[in-house]
A = this chain, B = another copy of it.
Amino acid sequence: MKRSFQIKMPKQEVFNRELVLQQASNVFHHKGYNATSMQDLVDATGLNRSSIYNSFDSKLKLYLECLNSYQTKYQNIMHSILIKAENPFNAIALIFKKYVEEIIADKDRKGCLITNCKSEMANQDVTVNYFLHNNQKETLALFEDLVKKGQEEQLINTNKHPKAYGMYLFSSIQGLRMTGILNQNEHELMELVHITLDTLK
């Protein structure tokens, strides 16, 4: 196949974009956005400064890509939980249990990247704010749907509307994540989760 004005193909990106995002996410997660320097990101990714700017434009855009990558990772985890859960209430319980496991496994006590982001950046950058609103919308939709199905199967009481219980679960998760920064005692955290979930029973 011949073309008169054939486009010459350039040298391509050689790094694994998803791996780089993972490495950058680790730094942002550990230090937060503002305390993370471009040098930190160069060191963590092994990429050259100009390669980072070529591929991600700016520190802020790289951060946003990390947030999206982190969100996608958790969406996949949630999806696999939904598949293996026995029923909607059990799915909610497994999600909370998963978060407790993450907290205990997090020896650096970093908390949740997205919760930290909300605390640090929600009122500072409009694109970050937009991401956070979207993340909230999707999380609320997941919980609301599970509560609605749980109520239909009479596993969850109907004292409150699914929207209200969805908000309650979303807020409880954020509280759990914050609490988990200083407290990593599995028994105490699970008791907290039991109290939270008994409300739905």
Residues of A bordering B, CB below 8 Å: 30-32, 34-35, 108-111, 115-116, 118-120, 122-124, 129, 132-133, 136, 159-160, 164-165, 167-168, 170-176, 178-179, 181-183, 188, 191-192, 195-196, 198-199
- Give A168 to B111 CA distance when docked, in angstroms: 18
Most buried by B among A123, A129, A173: A123
Known: A172-B172, A191-B160, A195-B199. A123 touches B167 (CB 8 A): no
Residues of chain B contacted by A124 (CB below 8 angstroms):
31-32, 35
Residue in B116, B120, B160, B188 whose CB lies within 8 Å of A195: B160
Residue in B123, B165, B178 whose CB lies within 8 Å of A178: B178
Count of identical protomers in the assembly: 2
| Nearest CB in chain B to that of A179: its residue | B171
A108 adjacent to B123 (CB under 8 Å) = yes
Residue in B109, B120, B159, B170 whose CB lies within 8 Å of A179: B170
B30 adjacent to A195 (CB under 8 Å) = no
9 new A-B contacts, CB < 8 A, other than A119-B178, A175-B175, are A32-B120, A108-B123, A118-B178, A122-B182, A171-B172, A171-B175, A171-B178, A173-B175, A198-B199
